[in-house]
Amino acid sequence: MKTLIIAEAGVNHNGNFEIAKQLIDEAVKAGADIVKFQTCKAENVISRYADKAEYQKVTTGEADSQLEMVRKLMLTYEQYGQLKEYCDEKGIEFLSTAFDLPSVDYLHSIGMKRWKIPSGEITNLPLLIKIAQLNEPIIMSTGMSELSEVTDAVKTLILNGATDITLLHCTTEYPAPYEDVNLKAMETMRDAFDMPVGYSDHTKGLEIPVAAVARGACVIEKHFTLSREMEGPDHAASIEPEELKQMVDMIRHVEVSIGDGVKKVSASEAKNQDIARKSIIAKTAIKAGDVFTEENITTKRPGNGINPMRWFDLLGKTAKHDYEEDYIIEKDELDER
């Protein structure tokens, strides 16, 4: 099964439309399936009294409030519509997280057919209901949540019409410490809800999302930026375009490596069996009529003679042929052809 890879541009365009288009271009080059942004009217989402997160203070300073910071990072509704058109032209799916009800209406009006509910909105009942009533695919992140809170959100979505839900495990810290990742929680949700699961990654490296795929993630989301040196809240915890491509390639390699679980000889390795395995070989010169003993036979490569697992079947038999030292013992010594 192919992993859906979401290149999370988020607000890493810094409110600049041309940078947003460049992020789309880089997501396409990397081979991502989806490029995702964030859409809202800042005043609908953030109180003027809301404080910044600690990581936002580190990356953007404390001069602006959270509301002022987000206002500067948002594009206009019209620009999100243009980005949707640009994605259509480039052959990559456009997705944007709606943080308020008017943004849901707008994104629905431009034909967005998949919905991402971020971790911070998992307890936002009006938003959950509105998105669920669209009865379109939903991907919901579950950072900062107890299993009981995920249960409540899932019930709300289902009761209001959602039928296609994927849950993403997530650690909502930027960057997320490795010891807090807890990938097994992704599997816990899969078992608890019998739903597809994935992973939204905020760690610094590439190995954790790749590991998540190996553990069954069907969706991977990762923040990316044109440069970690850019100003803004999320750049420092994002990967750069070449790293995004590396991650996509790694995930695709892991996907094909998982296989069907049947232990068998693969097509590529079958040709190496005779080279790497051993046969029963004449340890010393043997004459026809001699008895095969542990003193005159041994095991060596190649493996196209008698399988050494038949060692005790050969011992004590009388040789039918003459053998020089290092010659392969013929299979007909076991009355086999």
User: For a pLDDT cut of 70, what percent of the chain falls above it?
Assistant: 99
Residues 103 and 129 in one domain: yes
* Total-model pTM: 0.90
Sorting pLDDT into bands at 50, 70 and 90, what band is 337? Answer: very low
Asked if residue 302 lies in contact with residue 275, where contact means CB atoms within 8 angstroms, the answer is yes
The reported pLDDT for the residue numbered 178 is: 97
Sorting pLDDT into bands at 50, 70 and 90, what band is 336? Answer: low
By residue range, what is the domain housing residue 328? Answer: 267-334
What digits encode the pLDDT tens for the residues 278-289?
999 999 999 999
Question: 238, 258, 278: which is the final residue of a domain?
Answer: 258
The reported pLDDT for the residue numbered 55 is: 84
Residues 244 and 288 in one domain: no
Sorting pLDDT into bands at 50, 70 and 90, what band is 63? Answer: low
The reported pLDDT for the residue numbered 42 is: 93
Residues 138 and 76 in one domain: yes
As given in the structure block, the two tokens for residue 32 are 């991502």
What digits encode the pLDDT tens for the residues 259-302?
999 999 999 999 999 999 999 999 999 999 999 999 999 999 99
Across 96-103, average pLDDT: 98
Question: Which string of b and e fits 198-226 if b means at least 16 CB within 10 Å?
Answer: bbbbbbbebebbbebbeebbbbbbbbbbb
Strands 115-117 vs 138-141: parallel, antiparallel or unpaired: parallel
Sorting pLDDT into bands at 50, 70 and 90, what band is 52? Answer: confident
Mean pLDDT, the chain, as a whole number?
Answer: 96
What is the number of other CB atoms lying within 10 angstroms of the CB of residue 41? 17
Residues 179 and 79 in one domain: yes
Residues 179 and 100 in one domain: yes
Question: 258, 290, 315: which is the final residue of a domain?
Answer: 258
CA distance 149 to 128: 13
Residues 305 and 171 in one domain: no
